[in-house]
A and B are shown apart, each in its own frame.
Chain A
Amino acid sequence: MNTKMLIGGVLGGIVYFLLGWLVYGILLAGTMEGNCMRAHDAILPLWIFTGNVFTGLMLSYVFSRMTTVNTLGSGAMAGAVIGLLSAIGIDCLMYGTTTVVTEPMHILMDAAITAVLWAIVGGVIGWWLGRGAGGARGVASA
C-alpha cells in the first residue's frame, strides 16, 4: 500500500460518507427501518465514517492492482460492478440469516443504490489513481 492509494481510499471514503448521508440519511430516511435498525437519533456517525473510509481503501487497493482502472469512467464502471455484486451478496446473507433486512424488495433497492454510490466513489478513486505520471501501480508493493 502506498501514499497515493491511501489518499485515494480516504478521498473515496469521504465521498461515500457524504453520498450515504444524502441518500440514506435524507432522501430515503425511514425507508429501510426494521427490527434491528437503530433509530435515527441513535445512529453512530463516527462508525459510519470509519466504515466508509475502509470501503474506500478496499476499492483503492483493488483498483491500484486492476489492469484497466485509471480513469473516472473505468473506476465508475468497476465500482458499479463490484458494488452491485457485493451488495446483492451481503444483503442476501443478511436477509437469510438475520432480521436486519426484513423485506426482499430492500435487497434490490439497496443493491441498486450501492451500485450507484460505488460507481461515483469508484469514479473518484479511479480519477485520483490515474492522475500524473506513474500512477499508484508504479510503486505498488503489497
Chain B
Amino acid sequence: MNAKMLVGGLLGGVAFFLLGYLLYGLLFTDAMASCTSCQRPMEEINFLLLGVGNVFMGLTISYIFSRWMSVSTFMAGATAGATIGLLMSIGFTSISYATSTVYSAATCMLYSILIEVIMWAVVGGIIAWWLGRK
C-alpha cells in the first residue's frame, strides 16, 4: 500500500459517505425504513463508525484498482466499480437476507443492490481518476 493508494481510499470513503447520505439518508429513506425493523433511527446512527466503514470500503476499491491492469480513467473505473459493486452487493444482501431480518422482502434487496451499484460506480470512477493522474 502506498500514499497514492491510501489517498485514493480516503477520497473514495468521502465520496461513499456523501453518496450514502444522499441516497440512503435522503432519496430512499422511506423505502429503506419500510424494509427493515433493524435500522437505527437517525438520532442513534453512529456517524464515526459510518465514516470509518466508508473509508475502508474506499480502501478496498483503491487496493484493487492499484493492482488492476488498465483502470486509469473515470469511465473505466466506473465500469469496473459498478461490476464489482453489483457482484459484491448481491453476495452481501443475499447472505444478510439468509441470516438476518435486515431485509424484509426481495424488493428491499433490489433497492439496496441498485443503490450500491450507483455508489460503487461513482466511487470507482473517482478512485480510478485519482490513481490514473500523472
For the complex of A and B, 10 pairs with smallest distance between CB atoms: A92-B53, A51-B94, A89-B56, A47-B98, A58-B87, A51-B95, A55-B91, A96-B49, A93-B53, A54-B91
Interface flag for A44 (CB, 8 Å): yes
Interface size class of B (residues with CB under 8 A): 35 or more
Q: Which residues of A contact B2 (CB under 8 A)?
A: none
Is the C-beta of B69 less than 8 angstroms from some C-beta in chain A? yes
User: Could you say which residues of chain B place their CB within 8 Å of the CB of A93?
Assistant: 49-50, 53-54, 57
Main secondary structure of the interface of A (DSSP, over half): helix
**Contact present for B36 and A98 (CB under 8 Å):** yes
- Contacting A at CB under 8 A, from B3-41, are 24, 36-40
- For window 55-114 of A, CB contacts with B under 8 Å fall at 55, 57-58, 61-62, 65-69, 78, 81-82, 85-86, 88-100
Find A98's partner among B39, B92, B97 (CB 8 Å cutoff).
B39
Q: Does A48 contact B (CB under 8 A)?
A: yes
Given contacts A65-B69, A85-B60, A100-B38, contact A37 B53 (CB under 8 A): no
Interface size for chain A: under 10, 10 to 19, 20 to 34, or 35 or more residues? 35 or more
- B75 interface residue (CB < 8 Å to A): no
Q: What residue in chain B is nearest A68 (Cβ atoms)? A: B67
Task: Please name the residue on chain A nearest to B25 by beta carbon.
Answer: A97
